[in-house]
Structure 1
Amino acid sequence: MEWVAAVGTIIIIGLTLFLLEAIGRRVEAEPETVRKWIHIAVGHWVFLALAWLEHWYVAIVPLLFFTVVNLLTLKRGTGQMNQVERISYGTVYYPISLLILVGLFFEREPMALVAGSMVLAWGDGMAALVGRRYGKTFYTRGAIKRSFEGSIAMFLFSFLVLTSTFLIYALPAWIAISYGFLLANIAALIEAVSYRDLDNIFIPLSIGALVAFAL
């Protein structure tokens, strides 16, 4: 039954992708906006995995599946999430980073898995959406251009999801808030200095590791 549940998570995520792409076309949203909707939504797969699956080697199967699918659709340029201004491997790095998180923390440190996934989903996702819509003050690192408004959104949403995660896992409120604040700053810094889409790997793995070893 566990393998059936794994297939079920693939179907649910696939339907979610289809629905968000359909909504994007209906409201004529920009491809980059649709891409970030998907970015945020897909991170919640970890809750399905933790609720339905028991073993890490089963949980990585959907992630392997979407790594291959995302790579193929990227090469073919299909789907709104790949109709962006530049070729982006972020959609491939995303499931790879979750795969590594699952392998490391799924059975032993689920809080680290949730924390890393939620910061990637909400922190990084909202940073891009806010920066694209409201960004007015920019800074550059080589050829990479980011906005302070996006970085602030990265910090705020990371702080929110980290603190919520720690409270859900019954940590004392002062630890949840203080560690949430500290790790949100670290996540924002990593996002600010990361090269292109590699933040999809560095952010969740760094936050997951820090949560696992510090809490």
Structure 2
Amino acid sequence: MATPNPEPHLLWGGFLVLLWLGLLLLASELVYRFCQDGAEIARKIVHIGAGHVILIAWWQNIPTVWGVAVSLGVSLLTLISYRYPLFPSISGVGRKSWGTFFYALSMAILIAVYWPQQPAFAILGILIMTWADGFAALVGKRFGRHPYVLWGSRKSWEGSLTMAGVSCIVTLFVLWLTFGWHQQLWIIAPVVGLAAMALETLSWRGLDNLTVPLGSATLCFLLTQGLF
């Protein structure tokens, strides 16, 4: 008897995930090579864009094992790229940050822990890393007028407050879509936002790409268990 083929929607979901990641890498490499200040822009394209793969996985109901496998595969590629210039646009040789590796690793951990029974918390943690951390860096670089230095890392209050604010908005939106509106959201969202800001501030060498999503998702899960 012939082995049955995987369900079509799973094949389509896997194709969409790989297509999205491939387009992001292509765009980042083109920007890196041909645009002024291309290295920084290319990293932001990948940082903000890659997190949305979790929405494709949720939309297409990607199995846990697929999500974990793809995330770990990407993390392995980033480790190789730190040594060999496979993707210089996002992890060039000699960079002192493990952010890209932690980014993919955190996605694998969140999917393994929360998928598929409670995907909202995996989505929340990854979108906070994607949107809040990404926009905090952009705002801090462009509008940061009140800098501070912590553990040798230069940051700004404008960027840190953006981190807290966007994290709060992401938390409100994801929990509202998942659980409906509750007054407790006005407590949970600011607490998660401030925690995300603190985790980002206290991390270094890209470790925030691990501490922020995992810490935000875990804290939000515990708060919802206690307050809902």
TM-score (norm 1): 0.90
Instruction: Identify which of 151, 169, 180 aligns with 1:171.
Output: 180
Partner of 2:198: 189
1:159 matches 2:168: yes
- Displacement of 1:8 after TM fit? 3.8
Instruction: Identify which of 63, 72, 91 aligns with 2:71.
Output: 63
Partner of 2:3: none
- Distance of 2:150 and 2:112 partners within structure 1: 32
- Displacement of 1:84 after TM fit? 8.9
- 8 A Cα contact 2:96 2:205, kept in partner: no
Once the two structures are overlaid, the 10-residue window that deviates more, 29-38 or 182-191, is 29-38
- Displacement of 1:158 after TM fit? 0.9
Superposed CA deviations along residues 70-89 of structure 1, whole A, max 9, x for unmatched, are 22222223332235983321
Distance 1:202 1:25, change over 3 A: same
- 8 A Cα contact 1:53 1:59, kept in partner: no
Partner of 2:22: 14
Partner of 2:46: 38
- 8 A Cα contact 1:131 1:149, kept in partner: yes
Equivalent residues, number: 215
- 8 A Cα contact 1:156 1:184, kept in partner: yes
Superposed CA deviations along residues 177-198 of structure 1, whole A, max 9, x for unmatched, are 3311111011001111112211
Once the two structures are overlaid, the 10-residue window that deviates more, 24-33 or 187-196, is 24-33
- Distance of 1:108 and 1:92 partners within structure 2: 26
- Displacement of 1:23 after TM fit? 4.4
- Displacement of 1:119 after TM fit? 0.6
- 8 A Cα contact 2:16 2:56, kept in partner: no
- 8 A Cα contact 1:111 1:165, kept in partner: yes
Counterpart mapping for 1:1-215 below 5 A: 1=6, 4=11, 5-23=13-31, 25-77=33-85, 78-83=87-92, 86-215=95-224
Rg comparison, structure with higher value:
2
Which secondary structure does the structure 1 equivalent of 2:216 belong to? helix
- Displacement of 1:134 after TM fit? 1.7
Which secondary structure does the structure 2 equivalent of 1:172 belong to? coil
- Superposition CA RMSD, Å: 2.1
- 8 A Cα contact 2:82 2:92, kept in partner: no
- 8 A Cα contact 2:84 2:93, kept in partner: no
- Distance of 2:220 and 2:191 partners within structure 1: 11
One-letter amino acid matched to 2:124:
A
- Distance of 1:152 and 1:192 partners within structure 2: 11
Superposed CA deviations along residues 52-93 of structure 1, whole A, max 9, x for unmatched, are 234311211211221122222222233322359833211111
- Distance of 1:123 and 1:186 partners within structure 2: 12
